[in-house]
């Protein structure tokens, strides 16, 4: 069974640009959640999608958005990039129950110059 | 609001000794407490979890204890080995939000000295 796949793995952008990151969950998983990982703030929840609907949202500005497609694949978008957006963006998939394991992808490392 | 405090931030132990990492949380509605291990350059992986109706859970050399009254939970690793070296994250989730919206601690970098 293939794991969670994230693309691209690395990318460099400049301030003011926008970026789209993609996540393909494990087959059969309907929930996809996104986390931002930075050395200073640790792992912070961005949002979660289940069956194409945003079910949970973290405390990030509106520049951060996402969506989920009918095949459960998800994308997140960050507009008007700031230097502080440099981070590892991790996607995780799960079956979507109230408790249960999150399966993380290897992440997309974004550097904003 | 939701908050998880994790201590210590770094921990160094001799191979074969035990390691203990502690977390406290603020949301009394939290009912799910997983621990994730992240090796250098790799993705976080679940190593053990506990639900609020259980006080302790053990899996080989790893155990987790939960004290709901005091709102803290701990990870215990016995007979540590070099491959236990990693960053460990505790997390909590509420009943409404579910396990998909995890609030993570800041992480503990565990180093096992041979």
A49-82 pLDDT per residue, tens: 999 999 889 999 999 999 999 999 999 999 999 9
Tell me the residue ranges of DSSP E strands in chain A: 5-7, 10-13, 19-24, 31-38, 42-50, 53-57, 64-68, 74-78, 87-94, 103-104, 108-112
Q: Residues in chain B, how many?
A: 114
Contact B98 A44 (CB under 8 A): no
Average pLDDT for residues B59-75, to the nearest whole number?
A: 96
- Is the pLDDT at B95 greater than 70? The verdict is no
A28-49 pLDDT per residue, tens: 999 999 999 998 778 999 999 9
Q: Is A53 on the interface with B (CB under 8 A)?
A: no
Nearest chain A residue to B51 by CA distance is A99
Q: Report d(CA A50, CA B108) in Å as an integer.
A: 31
Q: Which of A44, A94, A104 sits opposite B100 (nearest CB)?
A: A94
More confident residue, A67 or B93: A67
Check residue A98 and give its pLDDT. 66
- Is the pLDDT at A84 greater than 70? The verdict is yes
More confident residue, A105 or A1: A105
Nearest chain A residue to B107 by CA distance is A42
pLDDT confidence band for A25 (50 / 70 / 90): very high
């Amino acid at each position: 069974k293939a794991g969670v796949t994230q693309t691209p793995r690395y990318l460099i952008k400049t301030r003011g640009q926008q970026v789209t990151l993609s996540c393909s969950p494990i087959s059969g998983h309907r929930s996809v959640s996104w986390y931002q990982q930075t050395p200073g703030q640790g792992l912070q929840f961005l949002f979660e999608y289940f069956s194409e609907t945003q079910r949970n949202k973290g405390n990030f500005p509106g520049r951060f958005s996402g969506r989920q497609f009918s095949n459960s694949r998800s994308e997140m978008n960050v507009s008007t990039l700031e230097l502080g957006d440099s981070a590892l963006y991790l996607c995780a998939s799960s079956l979507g129950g109230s408790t249960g394991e999150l399966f993380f992808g290897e992440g997309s490392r974004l550097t904003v110059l | 609001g939701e908050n998880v405090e994790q201590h210590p931030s770094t921990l160094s132990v001799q191979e074969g000794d035990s390691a203990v990492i502690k977390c406290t949380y603020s949301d009394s509605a939290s009912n799910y407490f997983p621990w994730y291990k992240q090796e250098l350059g790799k993705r976080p992986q679940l190593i053990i979890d506990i639900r609020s109706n259980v006080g302790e859970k053990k899996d080989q050399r790893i155990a987790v204890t939960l004290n709901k009254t005091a709102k803290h939970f701990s990870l215990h690793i016995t007979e540590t080995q070099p491959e236990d070296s990693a960053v460990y994250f505790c997390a909590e989730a509420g009943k409404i939000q579910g396990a998909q919206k995890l609030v993570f601690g800041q992480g503990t970098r565990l180093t096992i000295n041979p």
